[in-house]
Structure 1
């Protein structure tokens, strides 16, 4: 991965002490925080120690330079779903700690996909049979909205069905408790501002939500409620996974009811923070606005790869301030040196911060209000790039000129 040369605007933080180096009023970061509207000293100067996961955190098998620490993954539980020959092969695979998903499609070769590898790896020379799928279905149980899980784990099994409703394919996705994602935005979490994460599928949005829930509930002692529509954040079963710490979890009976459960969380459970995954409809966007107006911090994810995508999405654009066309008078148009009809932000954003997750260890952070105004005026805003370098270090680059291909 390309690493820009050192400059005065570049700062490196080791992951281990990052909690103790979070911005305080007496540190050099104070002018930066004032720029983003932070004027109050945090309520606590040190992070209280919270309970750890039941499994000891360990460095992932990829060695130095890996973008995260890895907690328990209960991989053996997921592999029990597979036919015995595939289970044995994967248990003996040296790179199984980087396994992302296993694909079982009727009449095709079974395939395993790994983090950081292009394409997949075939697991055997014979095709998947209906008997293989029936073995997996017996182990998984009931599917809801074509998804199923295993109690006490974070794994997800998704089904592909034919027109008659029979399962003809399975995507067995590995769920892991990854510790360390919260450190990438820890300074923002301390100041209680709502944050929206956007990115394409597979970049780690849900994994980040899980660790942020743990940080907010255990280490910042917030009352956190997770609206868990597909049980991906808190895992399957009635008891949430230890990865979310002391955060509470509301399950959603149907995806179409997510916005109602969000409002219920505020009205019934007195949260300081609400975490919601996959905001996608106008009703959910309106629920986010209502919650933000009640003074509750929101941590959410949305479909889209960049802030520009959000502005173009009619259902979600209001989350970042919305867009409206304004007709200027002749004098005003001459003063601005623009056309008479221009685009402007129509309201304050629901989420003061937007984080574009370009990949698991490269995030672009926007101050939403300023970035949206500049983008609508045809200008490139200044953003902050947060990434992990060698030896698990977090590198923060400030005042970078934004563009769509920053990672390249």
Structure 2
């Protein structure tokens, strides 16, 4: 059963406490339907509810932005802040002079159960899994729930390398929904650090499973390959509408078995044993044999996937 994880009300209340009173009155009643709040200096307050953007009659003033700043306690170098133990994200916009001109607040929600159809593979069959999908299709929501399921079995031997803090949230203490899995944050820019953090996770913390959100940089791809060759399971996401898009991305070739698109052959076995294509929220295509799927694509055939979801 797919449902909002217990505890959201408390996490939502923590976020509401950081808002100016008039903003809180405007948005609080929407509860879990509230998705995002945009506070831009001199503009009407804008907020998104169930995909629809609404506007208040009142404009945002400097004291409103300062109110949020003081209650958040400051922003990191990447201009983001989080609330401990939640998935909420608060990001600021600066002027050329370094003054705050706007704030975007994303209401974080832990949706539990979306990965349950994959439980037999994750728990019983095992193996590394590549998750492919375009933005805004629930890829990270799925990955977060995969961490939850793996942590039930492997406990603290699951390490989530949290590239943009989407898995465990921006706070120092990760969201309780992924416990007892451990979380390692990646400094900005991820292109310079993600591979190093994956290496540290494997070398220093003896994980059974490493979970990585958004691979595609040279070093992180190589570290995922190294992990799989050392017997560490890897679950990772990659951008792409479908599996063919991943095959046509040269940066990801090492984890796909180093395919040669000219001669239509693989030079080695993929780092991942299976792949999952996110079609839409709650709808997936599962490829239990990634090597065969890659071979089919190289030969111009559409690989057979198992449909999951409505």
**What TM-score does the superposition give when structure 2 sets the normalisation length?**
0.89
Secondary structure in structure 2 of the residue aligned to 1:211: helix
For residues 109 and 381 of structure 1, the distance between their equivalents in structure 2, rounded to whole angstroms, comes to 49
| 8 Å contact from structure 1 (residues 72, 177) kept in 2 | no
Contact 2:140 2:167 in 1 (8 A): yes
Residues 12-68 of structure 1, C-alpha deviations (whole Å, 9 max, x = no match): xxx4xxxxxxxxxxxxxxxxxxxxxxxxxxxxxxxxxxxxxxxxxxxxxxxxxxx54
Aligned residue for 2:159?
225
| CA–CA distance in structure 2, aligned partners of residues 346 and 162 of structure 1 | 50
Identify the residue that residue 384 of structure 1 maps to in structure 2: 306
Q: Which residue is 1:396 aligned to?
A: none
Q: Deviations over 1:163-202 (max 9, x none)?
A: 3333323221111222112302111102221112222223
Question: Which residue of structure 1 lines up, in the alignment, with residue 12 of structure 2?
Answer: 75
TM-superposed CA distance for 1:106, in Å, is 2.9
More displaced stretch, 290-299 vs 81-90: 81-90
The corresponding residue for 2:46 is 111
Segments of 5+ residues of structure 2 without an aligned counterpart are none
- In the alignment, structure 1 segments of 5+ residues that lack a partner are 1-14, 16-66, 327-341, 390-408
CA distance, structure 1, for counterparts of residue 67 and residue 232 of structure 2: 45
CA contact (8 A) 2:4 2:110 kept: no
Match of 1:352 in 2: 273
Between the aligned partners of 1:305 and 1:158, the Cα distance in structure 2 is 28
How many residue pairs were aligned? Answer: 303
Name the structure with the higher helix share. 2
Asked if structure 2 preserves the Cα contact closer than 8 Å seen for 1:105 and 1:169, the reply is yes
Over 4 Å off, 4+ runs: none
Report the alpha carbon displacement of residue 325 of structure 1 after superposing the two structures with TM.
4.1
Query: Counterpart of 2:81?
Result: 148
Distance in structure 2 (CA, Å) of the matches to 1:308 and 1:85: 49
Deviations along 1:326-374, one digit per CA (max 9) or x if unpaired, are 4xxxxxxxxxxxxxxx433333212222212222211122232222222
Q: CA RMSD in A?
A: 2.2
Give the distance between the partners of 2:143 and 2:119, measured in 1 at CA.
Answer: 13
- Separation in 1, partners of 2:179, 2:269: 32
Contact 2:154 2:208 in 1 (8 A): no
1:142 Cα shift? 1.9
Q: Are the equivalent residues in 1 in contact too, given 2:39–2:104 (CA < 8 A)?
A: yes
Judged with a 3 Å threshold, the aligned counterparts in structure 2 of structure 1 residues 146 and 198 are, in CA distance, closer, same or farther, namely farther
Larger Rg: 1
